[in-house]
A and B are shown apart, each in its own frame.
Chain A
Amino acid sequence: MAAVDEIVFHQLLHWHHFYDRSTSGVALLSDGLLHTAELLALVAGFFLYADLRRRDALAVGHAWSGAFLGAGAFQVFDGIVDHKVLRVHQVRYGVDVTPYDWAWNLAGLVLLAVGGLLLARARRAGRRRPS
């Protein structure tokens, strides 16, 4: 639970300018929906987080790992599926995008790795100290 809302929280920061093939009505709609969903998710995430704190149910280790896993998964998904497979948008225009793509995807993988390590640590800590 803690992980889920942190994932939601963090993806928001990355969701800007999702579409770039402008003029198409569908693209405009998807952008408006995403933009609005991201605002609402920001509010919802904050209040879910506050609720967990209130109940003393926040698993801090899991939350941090969730944040990294969410950000990393989003970045890699964006990098592979959006940039390459669907070619929705690119990192930069008018230049060779290869180095940018590598940087984007590798940074996403690093985030994922950090998140995985944190998750393993949180699980170990949870087993030592069952609550």
Chain B
Amino acid sequence: MTTGPVAAPLALACVLAAVVYAAGAARLRRRGDAWPWRRDAVFAVGCAALVWGLAGPVPGGPFTAHAGRHLLVAMAGPALLATARPLTLVLRLLPPGGPRRGLLRVAHSPAARWLLFPPVAAAVDVGGLWLLYRTGLWAAAHRNPLPGGLLELHMLLAGLLFAMAVWRLDPVRGRCGLPLRAVTLLAAGAAHAVLAKSLYVAGPPGTAFTAADLRAGAQLMYYGGDAVEMFLALVLAVQWYAATGRRRARQAAREALPAGVH
């Protein structure tokens, strides 16, 4: 992922998003809503990761730098944004009326519901990655700047989609149990690890990276992928821990009631 024509405006949009988020959260707090500060913090860090990946300097050879950018723009950045529940924030801020209804209609549309079904989101995210590295897509994207730039946008959005589909922190339609989400994470993580290991020996078709560069990049992809996957798993586990705690507290409260009182 070299920085194409879409990268600079996209980075600018990220800075803007961070400012809008902070202002929105401040307004919620003034109104009296509880909105934890850590969400502001992770959103800002996520935006910083995106800006760095899109426009900043990344060390290493061409392929290693690409892997680093990919890690920032398609994985770490979107995951951090998703933990901050951006959709929830916007829905709380918008007054009842046209725009809010429209946003809800989009978020709850059958298409969104399908895209946010974890296996579909995983296929869009990791499947796109396989297409990029294992077909002529990479070479084509680097010949023409515009598709290359759109690729960056796709990676960002696909990463966001995947994190939102697995975590479901924002109010999206369709209930998915923990097993399905965990298995999806497992499958996506495995597909990512396999692709990274295969890139260690053979680069994308139509490219000629040095072996050392390819190896460093593949390793960065492998271990960086592990880190993001651990993060995704951690958030899932915290959700499970909190949910079982609440369920047990409810049960205890019910049992504490004298018989006949309900």
Contact = CB atoms under 8 A, between A and B. Distances in A.
Interface in A20-64: 23, 28-29, 31-33, 35-37, 39-40, 43-44, 46-47, 50-51, 54-55
Interface string B173-214: 000000000100110011111100110010000000000000
B244 interface: yes
B152 to A, nearest CB: 26
Contacts of A36: 186, 189-190, 193, 229
Output the residue of A29, A46, A47 with the most chain B CB within 10 A. Answer: A47
Contacts of A39: 189, 226, 229-230, 233
B230 A29 contact: no
Contacts, number: 57
Interface size grouping (class) on chain B: 20 to 34
Interface SS, A side: helix
Contact of A32 (B193, B201, B241, B248): B193
B240 interface: yes
B197 A32 contact: yes
A36 B234 CA distance: 13
A31 B195 CA distance: 12
A50 B192 CA distance: 29
A54 B190 contact: no
B99 interface: no
A32 B191 contact: yes
Contacts of B230: 39, 43
Contacts of A28: 194, 197-198
B194 A32 contact: yes
A68 to B, nearest CB: 25
B237 interface: yes
B241 A37 contact: no
B245 interface: yes
Contacts of B185: 40
Contacts of A40: 182, 185-186, 189, 229, 233
Contacts of A51: 241, 244
A35 B191 CA distance: 11
A79 to B, nearest CB: 25
B27 to A, nearest CB: 35
A67 B244 CA distance: 25
21 contacts: A28-B194, A29-B190, A31-B197, A32-B190, A32-B197, A35-B193, A36-B189, A36-B190, A36-B229, A37-B186, A37-B190, A39-B226, A40-B185, A40-B229, A43-B230, A43-B233, A43-B234, A47-B237, A47-B240, A51-B244, A54-B245
Interface of A: 23, 28-29, 31-33, 35-37, 39-40, 43-44, 46-47, 50-51, 54-55
Interface of B: 182, 185-186, 189-194, 197-198, 201, 226, 229-230, 233-234, 236-238, 240-241, 244-245, 248
